[in-house]
């Protein structure tokens, strides 16, 4: 009997075959370029250095030390195995009480004790990724939208939109006021949605911000709270970097503003959190939804069955976060280390004339390379990005992948590497910038390959090739023609 050969695409769902995951973006392309040629201090010293990953590797030693001193926190050790039976069985999806209490205390502590969190309002999820999707499912139907200040964390498109069918509509922010959110921009985005007949269900903010590394001031938070109350829509606050603040001004958490505003409808306020950044444990997938709204808590809890945190992890985290002395020391040390790294990197760039948005939080900073663009367009930004990834061999992320409308900004992650790698990365950027500057100072000689219409640069395996026209090559703003890293294939 013959079988009909079918088109595999038709066998799968729309979600399975659409591009909603966002994998086809420069953000992920950068990761692929890194994967195909990863830097290693000794085994591959000319490889791509990963600076596109918001990971904190600066404080592992503190956690490892605690784990060594507390073998009983794991049920898979001689010291902890007595608890194995209790922990390894099915558990209530409310989460272990010890875990919820410890997380609620920790969330209060990292906010300087200025606010408290009720453990009964905590819902578990697989990282903040799962938390974002769950809140999207709880608050909006397909086609409805959240407004979100841009630039914003690239994977929000995957997390809030892909499987839910919900839309994200940007509130455009730019460098004219340091990317602050204004009431004018909020109203404009809301108005635009109304004109397009799209129902806005809420505003999503990320404070401290990825990719900016900045925090929202109290006045802006007040404006946001007033705005969502007036419109009777939700406010979702991703506070995943709440404790990853390493310099003044202090972080202001949304509950601080909600509690001072007696008019605020608390049913509209929801917080996303996780231990991926503040404790540097993204592999543990400890995510949290904290909602003031009991219905949302109930609904999210039912949905949490799809992304529970393993009880072994809850058990261990409960013990770790209940150790106040350890937590205090960790938070202090971690901030100091981040501050030092941030200072070394940003000051090292300033020395060669590269600025960045003034920041005091997060695991990255927002580097300003507008000066290096051939022209102020997103295409020029992508060209520059390809040179940085393929020739300078640094995977930094272009602003456009965070929906930044102003070309020339790049997110640089600084905490996911050791000191030696950091020095090499910094050295590469500095060398590149100096070469560009020198090329601007010395008028370009007519290149040998000028008869040829296209200059091809040699790139790492998976990235698209840059093809430059002679005009681009001669541009005083083009970083490429004079770089010794450029290899002409004529």
Binding positions for ligand PLP, rule: CB under 6 A: 54, 127-129, 153, 206, 210, 238, 240, 274, 276, 282, 287
Minimum CB–partner distance for residue 449 and ligand PLP (Å):
42
Supply the minimum distance, in Å, between the C-beta of residue 128 and ligand PLP: 4
The nearest distance, CB 1 to ligand PLP, in angstroms, is: 48
Nearer to ligand PLP, 202 or 282 (CB): 282
Choose between 400 and 416: whose C-beta lies nearer to ligand PLP: 416
Closest chain position to ligand PLP (CB): 127
User: Nearest Cα to 414, choosing from 60, 59, 62, 57?
Assistant: 57
Q: How far is the CB of 437 from ligand PLP (least distance, A)?
A: 33
Q: Looking at beta carbons only, is 316 or 372 nearer to ligand PLP?
A: 316
- 153 catalytically annotated: yes
Cis amide prior to 90 (ω within 30 degrees):
no
Q: How far is the CB of 240 from ligand PLP (least distance, A)?
A: 5
Question: Which position among 27, 34, 152, 153 bears the catalytic label?
Answer: 153
Beta-strand ranges (E) seen in 59-160 are: 122-126, 145-150
Instruction: For ligand PLP, give the closer residue by CB, 237 or 466.
Output: 237
Q: Assess whether 277 carries a catalytic annotation.
A: yes
Closest to 106 (Cα-Cα) out of 242, 285, 216: 242
Of residues 300 and 466, the one with the C-beta less far from ligand PLP: 300
Beta-carbon contacts of residue 304 (< 8 Å; ≥ 6 apart): 93, 123, 124, 125, 134
234 within 8 A of 139, measured Cβ to Cβ? yes
Residue 363: CB minimum distance to ligand PLP, A: 8
- Residue of 205, 240, 309, 388 marked active site: 240
> Is residue 103 classed as helix, strand or coil in its secondary structure?
helix
Q: Considering Cα of 464, then 354, then 425, then 338, what sign does the dihedral take?
A: negative
Q: In angstroms, what is the minimal distance from the CB of 441 to ligand PLP? A: 39
Work out how close the CB of 397 gets to ligand PLP at its nearest, in angstroms, rounded to a whole number: 11
29, 238, 368, 391: the catalytic one is: 238
| The one catalytic residue among 201, 277, 374, 393 | 277
**DSSP code of 206?**
E
* Nearest to ligand PLP of 99, 432 (CB atom): 99
Other C-beta atoms closer than 10 Å to the C-beta of 225 total 22
Q: Which is nearer to ligand PLP, 277 or 482 (CB)?
A: 277
Q: Is 250 left (phi over 0), alpha (psi -120 to 50) or beta?
A: beta
Cα dist from 188 to 66, 79, 183, 194, 210, whole Å = 50, 59, 8, 10, 23
Distances (CA, A) of 318 to 127, 138, 278, 292: 16, 27, 15, 22
Question: CB-wise, 206 or 293, nearer to ligand PLP?
Answer: 206
Q: State yes or no: is 109 an active-site residue.
A: no
Extract the tokens encoding 261.
């505003």
* Residues contacting residue 257 through CB under 8 Å, at least 6 positions apart: 218, 221, 222, 225
Kindly state the smallest distance separating residue 387's Cβ from ligand PLP, in Å: 25
d(CA 371, CA 188) in angstroms, rounded, equals 30
Residues 307, 83 contacting (CB under 8 angstroms): no
In sequence order, what DSSP letters do the residues of 259-314 get, joined into one string? HH-TT--GGGEEEEEESTTTSS-GGG-EEEEEES-HHHHHHHHHHGGGSPPPHHHH
Q: Is cis: bond before 211, omega within 30 of 0? A: yes
Nearer to ligand PLP, 356 or 439 (CB): 356
Asked if 290 is an active-site residue, the reply is no
Q: Which two tokens mark 136?
A: 């999207």
Q: Give the ranges where 160-290 is alpha helix by DSSP (H).
A: 183-195, 218-231, 254-260
List the one residue out of 81, 88, 82, 118 whose CA is nearest residue 103.
118
Would you name the residues annotated as active-site residues?
A: 153, 238, 240, 277
């Amino acid at each position: 009997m013959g079988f009909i050969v079918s088109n595999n695409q038709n066998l799968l769902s729309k979600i399975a075959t659409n591009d909603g995951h966002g994998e086809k973006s420069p953000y992920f392309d950068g990761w692929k370029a890194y994967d195909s040629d990863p830097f290693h201090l000794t085994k591959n010293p000319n490889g791509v250095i990963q600076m596109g990953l918001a990971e904190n590797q600066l404080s592992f030693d503190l956690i490892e030390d605690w784990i060594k001193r507390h073998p009983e926190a794991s049920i898979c050790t001689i010291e902890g195995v007595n608890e194995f039976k209790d922990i390894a069985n099915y558990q209530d999806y409310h989460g272990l009480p010890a875990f919820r209490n410890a997380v609620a205390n920790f969330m209060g502590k990292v906010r300087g004790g200025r606010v408290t969190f009720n453990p009964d309002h905590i819902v578990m999820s697989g990282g903040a990724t799962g938390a974002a999707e769950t809140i999207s499912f709880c608050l909006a139907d397909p086609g409805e939208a959240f407004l979100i200040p841009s630039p914003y964390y690239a994977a929000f498109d995957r997390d809030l939109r892909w499987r839910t069918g919900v839309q994200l509509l940007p509130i455009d922010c730019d460098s004219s006021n340091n990317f602050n959110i204004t009431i004018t921009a909020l109203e404009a985005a809301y108005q635009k949605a109304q004109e397009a007949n799209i129902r806005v269900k809420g505003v999503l903010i990320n404070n401290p911000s990825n990719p900016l590394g900045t925090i929202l001031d109290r006045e802006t938070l007040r404006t946001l709270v007033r705005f969502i109350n007036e419109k009777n829509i939700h406010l979702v606050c991703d506070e995943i970097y709440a404790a990853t603040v390493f310099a003044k001004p202090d972080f202001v958490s949304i509950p601080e503003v909600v509690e001072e505003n007696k008019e605020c409808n608390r049913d509209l306020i929801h917080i996303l959190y996780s231990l991926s950044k503040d404790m540097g444990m993204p592999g543990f997938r400890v995510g949290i939804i904290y909602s003031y709204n009991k219905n949302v808590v109930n609904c999210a809890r039912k949905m949490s069955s799809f992304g529970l945190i393993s009880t072994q992890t809850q058990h261990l985290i409960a013990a770790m976060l209940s150790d106040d002395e350890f937590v205090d020391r960790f938070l202090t040390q971690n901030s100091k280390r981040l501050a030092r790294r941030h200072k070394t990197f940003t000051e090292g760039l300033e020395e060669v004339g590269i600025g960045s948005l003034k920041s005091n939080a997060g695991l990255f900073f927002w580097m300003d390379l507008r000066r290096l663009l051939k022209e102020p367009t997103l295409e020029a930004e992508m060209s520059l990005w390809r040179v940085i990834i393929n020739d300078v061999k640094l995977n930094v992320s272009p602003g456009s992948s965070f929906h930044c409308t102003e070309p020339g900004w790049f997110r640089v992650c600084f905490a996911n590497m050791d000191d030696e790698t950091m020095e090499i990365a910094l050295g590469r950027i500095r060398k590149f910038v100096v070469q560009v500057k020198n090329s601007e100072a010395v008028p370009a000689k007519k290149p040998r390959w000028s008869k040829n219409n296209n200059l091809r640069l040699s790139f790492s395996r998976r990235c698209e090739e840059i093809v430059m026209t002679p005009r681009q090559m001669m541009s005083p703003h083009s970083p490429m023609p004079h770089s010794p890293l450029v290899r002409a294939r004529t």
